[in-house]
């Protein structure tokens, strides 16, 4: 019995000794650490995969044609006109055609973003303004477009454009004349232009062209022929323009 007792004690000691000197990865805490490391590697690999997919998606994102390609398309003749106000580069890599309504609150929201776009990319971008008055919901949409076109006649469209959006809550024939006076327009010419609705046909043509091209609301932008609707955040514009300018 004494011998068996000693033998049992030795076995227990040997077992404890072996357990104590096991490699770290064979110990419970080591196995847990390995499992945690494996999970971490899987997460990192997954996020790396998502990043690669996102970059690839951006590279392949259909943001529109180049300007040269657009000029070969019949769409160019419908979008780019000679009788609408434009601002920016005379030799652009990107042509933005905006269909807007001066009484549309979303158009007003887009104004500072578009200004930032022009300040940042103005040497590569040209902006063309097209009228799309939503008369069914905005009672001053058409008359404000008339007034803006009369200001264009005297070379002050963009200044008048900014004032209409700044004073959007008070649009009226009186406001149109006050804005014209503040910009030192020839009031005789302006009043005659406005009261005779000199630019009615041009505005109606813009509106019909917009309908033909799929415009259903404002603001709607065509960027090298690609249609975008609504207020686009500046970082969205950055993505689009960086790709197009780099083409």
Mean pLDDT of 26-32: 66
pLDDT surpasses 80 at 139: yes
**Confidence (pTM):** 0.75
pLDDT digits (tens, 9 = 90+) for 164-201: 999 999 999 999 999 999 999 999 999 999 999 999 99
In angstroms, rounded to a whole number, what is the distance separating the alpha carbons of residues 60 and 83? Answer: 35
Q: How confident is the model at residue 54 (pLDDT cuts 50, 70, 90)?
A: very low
Taking only the tens place, the pLDDT of each residue in 79-115 is 999 899 999 999 999 999 999 999 999 999 999 999 9
Percentage of residues in the chain with pLDDT exceeding 70?
Answer: 79
Give the integer Cα–Cα distance in Å for 159 and 178. Answer: 13
Buried b (16+ CB within 10 A) or exposed e, 206-218: bbebbeebebebb
How many CB atoms are closer than 10 A to CB 92? Answer: 21
| Band of residue 51 on the pLDDT scale cut at 50, 70, 90 | very low
**Tens-digit pLDDT profile for residues 218-227:** 999 999 999 9
Q: How far is CA 112 from the centre of its chain?
A: 12
Answer yes or no: is pLDDT of 21 > 60: no
Instruction: Determine phi and psi for 35, rounding to 5 degrees.
Output: -65, -45
Burial classification of residue 174, based on how many CB atoms lie within 10 Å of its CB (0-12 exposed, 13-18 middle, 19 or more buried): exposed
Buried b (16+ CB within 10 A) or exposed e, 107-118: bbebbebbeebb
How much is the pLDDT for 32? Answer: 75
Average pLDDT over residues 114-120: 98
Mean pLDDT (whole number) for 28-56 = 64
Q: In this model, does residue 49 exceed pLDDT 80?
A: no
More confident residue, 218 or 55: 218
pLDDT at residue number 38: 78
List all residues 6 or more positions away from 227 whose beta carbon is below 8 Å from its beta carbon: 213, 214, 215, 220, 221
Number of CB atoms found within 10 A of residue 88's CB:
18
């Amino acid at each position: 019995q004494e011998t068996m007792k000693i033998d049992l004690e030795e076995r227990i000691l040997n077992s404890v000794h072996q357990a104590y000197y096991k490699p770290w990865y064979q110990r419970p805490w080591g196995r847990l650490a390995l499992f945690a490391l494996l999970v971490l590697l899987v997460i990192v690999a997954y996020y790396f995969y998502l990043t690669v997919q996102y970059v690839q998606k951006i590279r392949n994102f259909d943001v529109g044609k180049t300007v040269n390609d657009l000029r070969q398309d019949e769409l160019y003749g419908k979008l780019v006109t000679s009788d609408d106000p434009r601002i920016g580069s005379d030799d652009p890599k990107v042509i933005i055609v905006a269909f807007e309504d001066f009484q549309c609150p979303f158009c007003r929201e887009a104004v500072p973003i578009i200004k930032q776009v022009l300040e940042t990319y103005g040497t590569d971008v040209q902006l063309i303004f097209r009228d799309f008055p939503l008369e069914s919901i905005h009672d001053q949409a058409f008359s404000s477009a008339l007034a803006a076109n009369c200001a264009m006649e005297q070379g002050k469209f963009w200044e008048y454009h900014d004032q209409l959006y700044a004073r959007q809550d008070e649009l009226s024939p009186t406001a149109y004349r006050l804005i014209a006076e503040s910009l030192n327009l020839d009031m005789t010419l302006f009043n005659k232009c406005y009261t005779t609705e000199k630019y009615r046909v041009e505005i109606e043509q813009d509106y019909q062209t917009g309908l033909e091209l799929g415009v259903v609301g404002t603001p709607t932008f065509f960027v090298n022929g690609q249609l975008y609707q609504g207020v686009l955040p500046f970082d969205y514009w950055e993505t689009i323009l960086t790709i197009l300018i780099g083409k």
